[in-house]
Amino acid sequence: MRIGELSRRTGVSSRSLRYYEEQGLLTSSRSGAGQRHYAGSAVERVSLIRQLFDAGLSSRVIATVLPCVESPDDPDVAEEAFATMMRERDRIDREIARLTESRDALDVVLAANSRHRAELVARSA
């Protein structure tokens, strides 16, 4: 199938599909006119790539996990993919903790600002 059809079938823009190829996440063959042609299995692969992006993984990390799909019976590949995803989950947990601290610090500033605004209203009354 050509890139437009893959885009329609997956809901992923042609631009994103080209990006996936640039990053080594997706492959295509080329026609004599240079048009990209994808195998039918590309629909499933794009769906998986989207799931991995939605899970917060970068294209670099996704590229290290995808060999698990290509070699599903290789326990070493499966173990490495699992370890990579666990490291990413730990990274996301650290980021959540950092964001929670930032939100809590902002709550302190907002509370001080609310008190200040209330004092201003009381003085002008």
Assigned domain for 76 exists = no
- 119: domain range? 81-125
Query: Can you give the pLDDT at residue 91?
Result: 95
Question: Do 11 and 61 lie in a common domain?
Answer: yes
- pLDDT, position 124: 87
- Number of domains the chain contains: 2
For residues 61 and 94, state if they share a domain. Answer: no
pLDDT at 52: 95
Q: Where does 6-125 show beta strands of DSSP type E?
A: 29-30, 36-37
Same domain, 58 and 2: yes
Cα 95–12–83 angle (5° rounding)? Answer: 40
Residue environment code for 103-123, b if the CB has 16+ CB neighbours within 10 A, otherwise e? eeeeeeeeeeeeeeeeeeeee
Residue 14: CATH number of its domain? 1.10.1660.10
* pTM score: 0.78
> Do 90 and 49 share a domain, yes or no?
no
Shared domain for 59 and 90, answered yes or no, is no
Beta strand 29-30 with 36-37 is: antiparallel
Residues 94 and 123 in one domain: yes
In a domain, 71, yes or no: no
Over its length of 125 residues, how does the chain's per-residue pLDDT go in tens digits? 999 999 999 999 999 999 999 999 999 999 888 899 999 999 999 999 999 999 999 999 999 999 888 888 999 999 999 999 999 999 999 999 999 999 999 999 999 999 999 999 999 88
